[in-house]
Structures are given as structure tokens and as C-alpha cells.
């Protein structure tokens, strides 16, 4: 793990501070990144990692503190300044034009470096060769997979002359096999003397690739440690500052009473079927996990069950009653609770107070309504109950939903959906983008409801969550259910293969 060249400190952050109203700020951030190393920055969601990296990439200006790059103190007013200083960033969401070639994407905005023709092509080939990126400059981006696209983003940064590369949660979009390839690339980069800053909250990955690890908690750097001297548990405890949550459920509570039965579910899309021949059963007290790379039909499956996709064909039966073409409202009333994957778009009225959000999705049910009228008093009282029982941290029920943190919004939604003791819960990414504390609380609520006989359809991108919570795991690939796994024995690697179709 020792770097081949002499290492020097290329990035020196001192006492960086940044305040935003209502958002966790950075304060007292001190980091030294050495050349020829992979330096990981870990922390919970919302700990301030992204803000810090935006500061280093010139997107945001710090309120206090100094940034030194290659020994010179710099003031980064824009990403252009950062690139000039040798800092490049690969964002989690790729910024590539699908209908252009790799070459065109790479030179776009950097035409001055090597032109847009042969010289640029040669440079791309040279970089691809030197860092083992395996990129053909003349392929269209739309023909490439996620892993290759990420390598193009890295190549774009190198092409612009960066010697310090920031990768923001690069593995979030990759399956395990692609992660291994990426790490191979990162090792090449560091062998060439570059500094790689790797942001993640997946600790096993961090430990497998990083040389040094800086832990951030509540906006401040807690410590920088040598990756070989710690294990995941120690890192996690530094991140959280307390005991760790664990998704695993205790013994099985599965019964033989079917709650949700889906048969022959089919939904046509443009060109190919979005859902094809989907069939499964979930019993009382059972959690069925659906694994899959995003965009393989998970959203459509949920929406078909919720009655939001009238074009879907096939039968959906809940508690022995076929839903037919009944409306979303009817389905909700019949005992289906729904935690949408995108809570901002589907789960909340962001600009309405919490007590009005209590009513959302339950507009026809007590205690929210009284005949055709909203029962303001009872709805408010019941909102207080949810805040109390589900530990939603907010000063009051008149606060706009937007003002809450992601974790608290999600706890609130779960409290709301559990209000009428549903028989079936459809949960899309229930812990996405929430902090560890809220995550463990949410897992706790789902486990408890399962023990009380709730049937759950769990869609998640977090394989640990799926393996920990589910009684059965099915994999969805291009709209079809392709495999069934026992969470007691399956590994993330096996799931990854099934998710990409590699096992077929």
C-alpha cells in the first residue's frame, strides 16, 4: 500500500468552515491529502462530505479557513479555477451527452487543450492506455454501460490535466463486479502519482481501496487514520459516534396466509415491456425484497400494484380480493400502505405543514376527516402522535415538510403509513438518503410491523438492507423476475451477478 513515488501533501485544508441556514455546516475541517494515495472521506449522509468537496471543487466558497494545493494557497471561485489548480471532480450523476461519441464528450469544453480531432484522439488513447481505462474514443456513449461511463468521467478529468481527482460516491451506481474494476483503475491512478479523494459511506469498499481515511461527523473532521489500522466497525463507530444499527431480522414470522398475490403482471413500454410476466406472493409476516439495478422495472412494479399504471395487465390480489382496475385511493383504503421511492415527489407536499401532510393519502379516513370536511383538530392531534411514536425531530406540526431533514421526513412518512395498521406495505428505498440513526429506526419499525403480521414488498438498492430485512429476495432484470435467493445464504456478489444478468 505504500506509494511508489515520494509522497508530498498536495491538498491541505485548514480550519474550513461553511454555514448554511438549517443545514449541517462544515467547521474545523482539517485534511491533508498526499500524492500517490487514495484518500477516503467517510461520514453519514448529511455529515458535510458533499459540501466539503464542493468547496474544494470551487462550487462553493468557504466562510473561513484556507485551501493549499501543491503548496500554494488558492482561492477557488469556480470549478474553472479548481481545474486550473489541478483539481477534478467526478460527480455521482454523470454529465455525458448520450448521442455524442466518447471523444466528443471528452473534448467538450476543453477544445483548447488538444483540439477536437486527431491530437485529442491520441491523447485519449494515451490516457486510456496509461491508466488502464480501456476506452475507445469513437464509440457513442449511449452504447456504453454504467462502469464505462464512469471511466469516461475519470478520463475527462485527467484530460483536463487534473492531478487530484475527487470521486463522489462512485460506487453507488455500480454493481459489485464493476466496483472491483473501478478500484483497479484507482490503483493505477495512484501508482502514477495522482491523488484520489474518494467519498463514500460504504466502509468495506473504503477499506479495500483507501490508504488513508478521514472521518467526518456533524460537519467536522473527527480523525484521519491509516486504512490498514482500522476495521469497518471502528470506522462506523467514529462516523456515528455511537452503537451501530443492524438490519437483520430475528426469526421468521412468515405465515402461510397470502396477503399479496401478483399474477401475469405485464406493462408495455416504448419498444420493450417494462414489466413482463411478473408473479409472486407475499404472506402475512413476510418481507419480500426486490433487488435490481435501478430502472429495471421497480418503479413500474410498485406503481402497477398501487393502481397508478392503468395500462398494466394481469391480476393483483390483496387478502383474496382482486383489485381489478380499482383506483389508487380504493387500494390505499383497502389496507395498502405506500412509502414512495421518491419522497419529495410522491410522498410529501413539501410546502405544506406536517399536519396537512398527515392527511395526504388518507384524505378519506379518520381521524382526518369528518364527512366532507377536514377534521383539523383531530388531524393535528394525530400528527402529534406520529411525531412522538416515530421520533420525528421537529419543533412542531406547523413546520413545513421541506424544512425537515430527509431522515425525519421519512420517519414521518412511515408513521403516517402505519397509522391504519395496514395489511400490506409497499416500500421503495425506505432508507435512501437518511442518516444512520433514522435508518436503524426505520428498520426497527418495519421489523416490528412484520412481527405483527404485516406483509412487505421491499424495493431497495442497498443490498445489505435487502439481505438483512428480507425473508425472500427476488431479482428484477429488464422487467422480469429472474432469480430467487435465500437471504440467509446469498452474498452481495451473487445478487450483483443476477442483477446484471451475468449469471444467465
Partner 1 sequence: MTNATLKRLSLVIGAPVLALVTAFLITSLVLAVAGDSVSGVWGQILSLPTPRGYVNIINSATVYYLSAVAVAIGFRMNLFNIGVDGQYRIASFVAAIVAGEAWLPGYLNTVFAVLAAMLVGAAWAGIAGILRVTRGVSEVISTIMLNAIATVVVAYFLRKAAVEHKGSNTIATKEIPEGSRVPGFTWSEDVPAKIYGFVLVAILVGILYWVIINKTRFGFDLRATGLSETAAVASGIDVKRMVLVSMLLSGAIAGLVGMPLLFGNDYSYGSTFQSGLGFAGIAIALLGRNHPVGIALGALLFAFLDEQSNPLQILLDVSPDIVKITQGVIVLTVVIAYEVVRRNGIRLEQRSVANALEDEAPKEEVKA
Q: Which residues bind partner 1 (CB under 8 A)?
A: 21-23, 241-243, 306, 308, 327-333, 338, 340, 342, 345-352, 356, 359-364, 369, 372-374, 376, 393-396, 399-400, 402-404, 437
Residue 63 or 181: which CB sits closer to partner 1? Answer: 63
> What's the rounded Cα separation, in Å, for the pair 293 and 85?
36
Nearer to partner 1, 205 or 356 (CB): 356
In whole angstroms, how close is the CB of 262 to partner 1 at the nearest point? 19
Q: Measuring CA to CA, how many Å separate 257 from each of 282, 447, 473? A: 9, 18, 19
Query: Taking a C-beta distance cutoff of 8 angstroms, is the pair 504, 477 a contact?
Result: no
Instruction: List the beta strands (DSSP E) in 169-272.
Output: 195-200, 212-217, 220-226, 258-268
The distance of Cα 205 from the centroid of its chain, to the nearest Å, equals 15
Q: How far is the CB of 321 from partner 1 (least distance, A)?
A: 17
Q: Which is nearer to partner 1, 103 or 239 (CB)?
A: 239
**Going by C-beta distance under 8 Å and a sequence separation of 6 or more, which residues neighbour residue 424?**
259, 260, 282, 318, 335, 336, 337, 454, 455, 456, 457
How is residue 176 written as a grid cell? 459489485
Closer residue to partner 1 in complex, CB, 108/360: 360
Q: Which of 370, 424, 379, 371 is nearest to 397 (CA)?
A: 379
Sign of torsion, CA 237 65 34 164? Answer: positive
CA angle centred on 53, ends 50 and 56, rounded to 5°: 155
CA distance 216 to 368: 42
CB-based contacts of 298, cutoff 8 Å, min separation 6: 290, 292, 341, 428, 459, 476
**CB 241 to partner 1: min, Å:** 7
C-alpha cell at 467: 439481505
74/403 with CB nearer partner 1: 403
State how far the Cα of 336 lies from the Cα of 326, in Å rounded to an integer: 13
Minimum CB distance to partner 1 smaller for 50 or for 439: 439
Give whichever of 243 and 251 is closer to partner 1, judged by the CB atom.
Answer: 243
Distance of closest approach, residue 345 Cβ to partner 1, in angstroms: 4
Backbone angles phi, psi at 438, to 5 degrees: -65, -35
Q: Closer to partner 1 by CB, 272 or 345: give it.
A: 345
Give the burial class of 489: count Cβ atoms within 10 A of its Cβ; 0-12 exposed, 13-18 middle, 19 or more buried.
Answer: exposed
Q: Which is nearer to partner 1, 283 or 332 (CB)?
A: 332
Shortest spacing between CB 170 and partner 1, in angstroms: 29
Q: Minimum CB separation from partner 1 for residue 483, in Å?
A: 29
Closest separation in Å from C-beta 238 to partner 1: 15
CB nearer to partner 1: give 39 or 217. 217
At closest approach, how far in Å is the CB of 344 from partner 1? 9
Q: Compute CA distances 468 → 181, 299, 444, 460, 465, whole Å.
A: 26, 22, 12, 11, 5
Distance of CA 118 to the CA centre of its chain: 39
Q: Taking the complex as a whole, how short is the minimal distance between the CB of residue 437 and partner 1, in angstroms?
A: 6
Least distance between partner 1 and beta carbon 353 (Å) = 10
Of 478, 461, 426, nearest in space to 274 by CA: 478
Beta bridge partners of residue 485, listed in sequence order: 473
> Least Å distance between CB 242 and partner 1?
6
Please, is 103 exposed, middle or buried when counting C-beta atoms within 10 Å of its C-beta (0-12, 13-18, 19+)? Answer: buried
Toward partner 1, which CB reaches closer, 171 or 394?
394
Cell match 418503479: residue? 299
Amino acid at each position: 500500500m505504500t506509494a511508489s513515488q515520494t509522497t508530498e501533501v498536495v491538498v491541505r485544508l485548514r480550519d474550513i468552515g461553511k454555514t448554511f441556514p438549517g443545514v449541517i455546516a462544515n467547521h474545523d475541517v482539517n485534511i491533508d491529502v498526499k500524492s500517490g494515495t487514495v484518500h477516503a472521506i467517510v461520514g453519514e449522509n448529511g455529515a458535510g462530505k458533499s459540501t466539503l468537496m464542493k468547496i474544494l471543487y470551487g462550487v462553493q466558497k468557504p466562510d473561513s479557513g484556507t485551501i493549499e494545493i501543491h503548496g500554494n494557497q488558492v482561492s477557488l471561485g469556480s470549478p474553472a479555477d479548481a481545474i486550473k489548480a489541478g483539481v477534478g471532480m467526478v460527480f455521482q450523476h454523470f454529465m455525458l451527452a448520450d448521442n455524442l461519441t466518447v471523444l466528443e464528450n471528452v473534448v467538450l469544453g476543453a477544445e483548447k487543450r488538444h483540439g477536437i480531432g486527431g491530437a485529442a484522439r491520441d491523447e485519449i488513447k494515451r490516457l486510456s492506455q496509461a491508466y488502464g481505462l480501456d476506452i475507445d474514443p469513437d464509440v457513442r456513449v449511449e452504447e456504453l454501460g454504467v462502469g464505462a461511463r464512469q471511466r469516461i468521467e475519470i478520463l475527462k478529468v485527467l484530460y483536463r490535466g487534473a492531478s487530484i481527482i475527487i470521486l463522489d460516491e462512485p460506487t453507488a451506481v455500480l454493481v459489485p463486479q464493476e466496483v472491483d474494476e473501478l478500484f483497479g483503475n484507482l490503483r493505477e491512478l495512484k501508482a502514477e502519482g495522482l491523488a484520489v479523494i474518494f467519498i463514500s459511506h460504504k466502509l468495506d469498499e473504503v477499506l479495500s481501496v483507501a490508504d488513508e481515511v478521514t472521518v467526518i461527523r456533524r460537519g467536522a473532521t473527527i480523525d484521519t487514520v491509516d486504512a490498514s489500522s482500522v476495521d469497518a466497525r471502528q470506522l462506523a463507530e467514529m462516523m456515528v459516534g455511537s452503537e451501530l444499527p443492524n438490519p437483520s431480522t430475528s426469526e421468521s414470522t412468515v405465515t402461510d396466509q397470502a396477503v399479496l398475490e401478483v399474477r401475469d403482471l405485464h406493462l408495455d413500454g416504448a419498444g420493450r415491456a417494462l414489466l413482463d410476466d411478473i408473479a409472486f406472493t407475499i404472506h402475512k409476516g413476510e418481507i419480500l425484497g426486490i433487488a435490481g439495478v435501478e430502472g429495471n422495472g421497480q418503479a413500474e412494479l410498485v406503481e402497477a400494484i398501487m393502481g397508478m399504471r392503468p395500462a398494466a395487465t394481469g391480476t393483483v390480489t390483496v387478502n383474496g380480493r382482486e383489485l381489478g382496475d380499482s383506483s389508487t385511493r380504493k387500494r390505499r383504503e383497502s389496507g395498502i400502505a405506500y412509502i414512495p421511492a421518491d419522497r419529495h415527489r410522491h410522498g410529501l407536499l413539501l410546502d405544506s405543514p406536517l399536519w396537512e401532510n398527515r392527511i395526504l393519502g388518507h384524505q378519506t379516513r379518520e381521524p382526518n376527516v369528518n364527512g366532507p370536511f377536514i377534521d383539523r383538530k383531530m388531524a393535528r392531534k394525530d400528527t402529534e402522535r406520529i411525531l412522538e411514536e416515530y421520533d420525528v425531530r421537529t419543533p412542531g406540526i406547523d413546520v413545513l415538510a421541506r424544512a425537515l431533514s430527509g431522515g425525519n421526513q421519512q420517519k414521518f412518512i412511515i408513521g403516517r403509513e402505519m397509522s391504519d395498521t395496514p395489511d400490506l406495505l409497499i416500500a421503495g428505498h425506505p432508507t435512501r438518503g437518511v442518516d444512520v440513526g433514522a435508518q436503524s429506526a426505520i428498520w426497527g419499525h418495519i421489523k416490528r410491523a412484520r412481527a405483527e403480521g404485516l406483509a412487505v414488498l421491499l424495493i431497495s438498492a442497498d443490498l445489505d438492507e435487502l439481505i438483512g430485512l428480507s425473508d425472500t429476495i427476488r431479482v428484477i432484470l429488464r422487467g422480469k423476475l429472474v432469480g430467487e435467493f435465500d437471504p440467509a445464504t446469498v452474498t452481495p456478489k451473487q445478487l450483483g451477478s443476477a442483477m446484471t444478468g451475468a449469471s444467465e
